[in-house]
Homo-oligomer: A and B are copies of this chain.
Amino acid sequence: MELAAAKLKFIEAWGKLGSEWGINRTMAQVHALLLISPEALTTEEIMENLSISRGNANMTLRDLIGWGLIEKQHKAGERKEYFFADKDVWNIARQVAKERKKRELEPVLKILTELSTVEGDEKDPEFKTFKKSVNDINKLANNVDKTLETMLKAEENWFWSSVLKVFK
């Protein structure tokens, strides 16, 4: 396969994956483009490469910075802003896990904790079923939360050697 074709395919695949995981397509595509660029790129270059508008490029770059996936770079003697992506896949995974934990898992944990205080008649099947489901989900969510917490602190090698020891 040709490099140019491979690049297009990569950007497309990363965009699709992103949209399946609740990250908007353009955001994932800009990230993909920067991931495979040896040099930092300007807003203009990104707009041109992906055929997107200035407004869209600007918002998307801001969001990616918010997710901690890309950074701004200032080149000496230049006014333009350049953007580049952290190329370390392990850092990317951690960063995404961190953001989703904060944005999604934590609010759910809060609600589950609240819901598990529900009061009712232990003989009522409606009540019993509700309570059991909520408690079970609560336990699972807490386990996931702890696991992510540990992952966020972990060094890559430590992490994979531990996981692979268990899942060999």
**A contact set with B: CB distance below 8 Å:** 1-3, 6-7, 9-10, 13, 17, 20-22, 35-39, 87-90, 93, 103-104, 108, 111-112, 114-115, 117-120, 124-130, 132-134, 136-137, 139-140, 143, 146-147, 150-151, 160, 162-167
Cross-chain contact A87 with B21 (CB below 8 angstroms): no
Q: How far is the CA of A133 from the CA of B124 in the complex (A)?
A: 56
Contact A1 B162 (CB under 8 A): no
Cα–Cα, bound, A128→B167 (Å): 31
- Name the B residues within 8 Å of A125 (CB-CB): 38-39
Shortest distance between the CB of A47 and any CB in chain B (Å) = 19
Taking CB atoms, residues of chain B closer than 8 Å to A90 are 140
> Can you name 28 A-B pairs with beta carbons within 8 Å?
A1-B114, A1-B119, A3-B120, A6-B118, A6-B130, A7-B130, A9-B115, A10-B115, A10-B130, A10-B134, A13-B115, A36-B129, A36-B130, A36-B134, A37-B129, A38-B125, A38-B129, A88-B136, A89-B136, A89-B137, A89-B139, A89-B140, A90-B140, A143-B163, A143-B164, A147-B163, A147-B167, A162-B166
Across the interface, do A118 and B3 meet the contact criterion of CB distance under 8 Å? yes
Q: Tell me the smallest distance from the CB of A43 to a CB of chain B, in Å.
A: 20
| Chain B residue contacts of A127, Cβ below 8 A | 3
In the complex, which residues of chain B have a beta carbon less than 8 angstroms from the beta carbon of A118? 1-3, 6
